[in-house]
Amino acid sequence: MAETEQPQIYLITPPEFELSQFPDQLGRVLDSTEIACVRLSMSTRDEDRLSRAADALREVTIARDVALVMDSHILMVERLGLDGVHLTDGARSVRKARKELGDDAIVGAFCGASRHDGISAGEAGADYVSFGPVGQTPLFDGTVAEHELFEWWSMMIEVPVVAEGALNADLIAKISPVTDFFGIGEEIWKSDDPVAALTALKAAF
């Protein structure tokens, strides 16, 4: 079997963070290893908080030439000068996002564990499709994106795929040969030393 390229890291922000501290923390993580993209994934729906967070993180990512996308808010992407949007409703908004943001923007779609949604998102013009959670978690409805889904996708579909949600070193080692990206977020931010936590996870790639 030919050597496959190692997956890349797609870094996801915590749902809540302190603007006084997190940009520095993010900078340290970005300086520690190669990161393909950062996703601003806040739980707030407060436009002002989202805007301020995006402005602060954009300075960090632009300085390091890393793309910055944000969850869901298509209309804020252009205004804030971000690189694209991560849609959380499968294939439903992909065409709309592409029309609003143009061909150069990154448009990604989270499709849970649905092969059908993934295919539809790819056909609608998504730049990547994300499946998850990969590990067991009490959050959501208990559905898990199984190894077989990534295996099938990597053989059949050209669109890059992201594995995210409840990852650990064992799952990463298992899925590495069949995914293009790992969406890593809470796995490292809840640690006292996110750089060390990420280094440990990356060792399993």
The pLDDT of residue 141: 82
Instruction: Record the tokens describing residue 162, joined without a space.
Output: 């992201």
0.75 exceeded by pTM: yes
Residue 104 lies in a domain: yes
pLDDT at residue 176, rounded to an integer: 97
pLDDT at 137: 87
pLDDT at 83 exceeding the cut of 80: yes
Percent of the chain with pLDDT over 90: 95
> Mean pLDDT, to the nearest integer, of 170-179?
97
Least confident piece of the model among 7-16, 133-142, 184-193: 133-142
List the one residue out of 158, 83, 84 whose CA is nearest residue 118.
Answer: 158
User: Per the structure block, which two tokens stand in for 176?
Assistant: 């590495």
Residue 70 has pLDDT above 80, yes or no: yes
Other beta carbons within 10 angstroms of residue 6's beta carbon come to 13
The CA–CA distances, whole Å, from 96 to 72, 73, 111, 126, 158 equal 12, 12, 16, 11, 22
How far, in Å, CA of 39 to CA of 42, rounded?
A: 9
Q: Which two tokens stand for residue 169?
A: 């070193």
194 — phi, psi (to 5°)? -60, -35
pLDDT score for 202: 97
Q: For the chain, what is the domain count?
A: 1
How confident is the model over 23-41, as a mean pLDDT?
98
Q: Does 109 map to a domain?
A: yes
Nearest to 86, CA basis, from 75, 100, 72, 99: 72
pLDDT at site 140: 72
Least confident range from 27-31, 37-41, 97-101, 136-140: namely: 136-140
Structural domain contains residue 179: yes
Q: Please check the confidence at residue 32 and state whether its pLDDT lies above 80.
A: yes
Residue 43 lies in a domain: yes
* Residue 38 belongs to domain with CATH number: 3.20.20.70
The overall average pLDDT reported for the chain is 96
Is 66 a residue whose pLDDT tops 50?
Answer: yes
Residue 71 phi, psi (nearest 5):
-65, 130
Range of the domain at 98: 8-202
CA distance 181 to 56: 25
Asked whether residue 2 is domain-assigned, the answer is no
Q: List Cβ neighbours of 120 (8 Å cut-off, separation of 6 or more).
A: 90, 91
Query: What pLDDT score was predicted for residue 3?
Result: 45
**pLDDT at 69 (0 to 100):** 98
Of 143, 130, 116, the closest CA to residue 183 belongs to 130
